[in-house]
Amino acid sequence: MSAVSGAVESGRGAVYDRGYRPYEGPRGRRGAATYALYKASMRRALGLRRTWRQKVAPFVLLGVVTIPAIVNIGIGYVTRDRLQDSFEIITYREYVGVSSALLLFVALVAPDVMCPDRRQRVLPLMFARPLIGFDYVAAKVGAIATILFAFSFLPQVMLFIGNMLISDSALDYFTGHTDVLWKVPVAVLILALYYAVIGCAIASLTDRRIVAGAAVIGLLLLTSIAAGVIIGDRSSINEGSMAALISVLAVPLYLRDLVFLGHIEARSPLAGVERGGLAAAATYVVVLLAGLVVLWRRYRWVER
């Protein structure tokens, strides 16, 4: 007893009565949890708060898809006093096709966003209420689709503003291209949502990022090659074929033509096919639903 009191008196021991206080801050529900996961997924995809190596791929790809806009504006500025009509090396419709280069981004980012949660076995913790499987899928797909939309839309904005500034009258250019203000966002949204769902669905099937990334690239390349082989003979006589819809990569580009032109472009592998536009829209919906079904089956167990 004396030893204990001596230790306390000499200052070698202390007892702290801290206690606990209940949390009195704001309490979020499903929406707040989903939004938090959405923001965290976007930060991870862009490499924010991570090493510089994780930031290289996203912003290098953004620079790549921005190059056509910069070149178009630069050439248009140099030749604005030499040519009667404005010089244009790429149209807004064609620029949506350039955004397909972001498929490499999907192959890199979708596995990085989806696979670690399953590999590190943190899903049971993340799926504690109020977050459910639907919220998880919405946050992950939404994050990748948002980034794809931004990376595809920002170069178009740069191209539009640049063309306005180098034209004879910015106001005349704006009023003459008002249709672009809704066609570009719609076409880009179609493409971004499509690739985001495909990337997330494939990545949900494995916990290895390299396998998921290779599967995304493999699916898109193999279907494109298969479509090219089947319609090869028809392309030489300018005759389209329904086999063009086999190419998973090209399906949203057919819908892009419908948005901008109201019909399939004449040089398209689907051109001339009866009700080709309707078939392309149906294929788009089927692929999108298939991806969502895969995601639903992979994460539905958390709601039990």
The whole-number average pLDDT for the span 213-242 is 79
Arithmetic mean of pLDDT over the chain: 83
- One-letter identity of residue 248: V
Long-range contacts of 72-75 (CB under 8 A, 24+ apart): 72/159, 72/162, 72/163, 73/158, 73/159, 73/162, 73/163, 73/166
Quote the CA–CA distance of 136 and 141 in Å, as a whole number.
Answer: 9
Over residues 172-206, the pLDDT tens digits come to: 889 888 999 999 999 999 999 999 999 999 999 98
Least confident interval from 6-15, 96-105, 110-119, 124-133: 6-15
* Overall number of domains in the chain: 1
301, exposed or middle or buried, with CB in 10 Å at 0-12, 13-18, 19+? exposed
The pLDDT value recorded for residue 86 is 61
The whole-number average pLDDT for the span 62-70 is 84
% of the chain residues with pLDDT over 70? 86
- Domain membership flag for residue 294: yes
**pLDDT surpassing 60 at residue 297:** yes
- Domain membership flag for residue 108: yes
- Domain membership flag for residue 12: no
The pLDDT value recorded for residue 184 is 93
pTM: 0.84
Over residues 70-110, the pLDDT tens digits come to: 888 888 878 776 655 666 778 888 888 876 677 888 888 88
- Domain membership flag for residue 239: yes
- Domain membership flag for residue 18: no
- Domain membership flag for residue 77: yes
- Domain membership flag for residue 15: no
The pLDDT value recorded for residue 170 is 85
Over residues 271-294, the pLDDT tens digits come to: 878 888 899 999 999 999 999 999
Range of the domain at 156: 29-303
- Domain membership flag for residue 178: yes
The pLDDT value recorded for residue 99 is 67
